[in-house]
Amino acid sequence: MASFVQIEKGLGPEGRIAVVRFDRRDGVNALSPEALRQLTDAARNFEDDAGTSVVVLTGGSKAFSAGFDLKDAEGRARADMDIGALRRHLKLGPRLSRAWQDMEQVTIGAIEGFCIGGGVALAVALDFRVMARDAHIRVPEIGLGMNMSWQSVPRMLHLMGPARTKQAVILADQRISAADAYEWGLVEELADSGKAFDAAMALAEKVARQPPISVAMTKLTVNRLAHALDDLASHMDVDQFALASLTEDHKEGVAAFLGRRPPRFKGR
């Protein structure tokens, strides 16, 4: 089985920085079910790692991630699953984003090229995001007859507020430039093209020089306060996704995407 994720530890001040590289070496970096599992395992790799204070997550040089892989055979098998099997399979994404959010270490994403759909859901589960100035973000789920899931809507809401979150999610064809993402609060820092990883590492070094225990406790406190009520709403997005996937509009959205044509939605 191909390995899409590499972990390097012991970098930076006192060896307190780690780098997780997600790169399928195809220029697209789509999130197949197997990629979701490997990225979840990567986050869990740090559960008992007291020597690492900061984890930098980076994608390929041309793309952070194109989102869920609609062409992957396992992913396409969802179309024939009963509702019980579908709900179980749909937990892969939320499990991934939760694993990264719950890490004790500070997490920083380095975004080059584009960050789309599930890639955005992963990015907003991190503590900080550094984005190349020529990169862009897009949230296409609604345009595919789906809803934005993986418990990402509350996370986006905390970062951008309600109006910008609606704008980013509902206007599915809109590319959000790096400049707009920074202005909206979706990313915290911009970098020159090809330099997002270097900028993320520079930020990681600043964090790594702080007292590790105080940093970890502060992150936990902020996250608990910010996300205290999120589960009240975000638990339902798996069921919303499952329901949306049964609609004719979803079938039309995916068929239009694969056929490279505009979709025709009918509200059923």
- Please count the residues of the chain: 268
b/e sequence 127-144, b meaning 16+ C-beta within 10 Å: bbbbbbeebbbbbbbbbb
Of 214, 90, 97, 115, give the one whose Cα is nearest residue 155: 97
- The reply to whether 141 belongs to the active site is yes
**CA–CA distance, 260 with 262 (Å, rounded to integer):** 7
Beta-carbon contacts of residue 17 (< 8 Å; ≥ 6 apart): 11, 52, 53, 54, 55, 56, 201, 204, 205, 208
- Three-class secondary structure of residue 82 per DSSP: coil
Structure tokens at 199: 């900028």
Active-site hit among 141, 183, 189, 205: 141
What's the order of all strands across the beta sheet hosting 17-22?
5-11, 17-22, 54-58, 106-111, 128-132, 189-191
Do 141 and 241 form a contact (C-beta atoms < 8 A)? no
The rounded Cα 234 to chain-centroid distance in angstroms is 15
CA nearest neighbour of 11 among 44, 76, 58: 58
Catalytic residues: 141
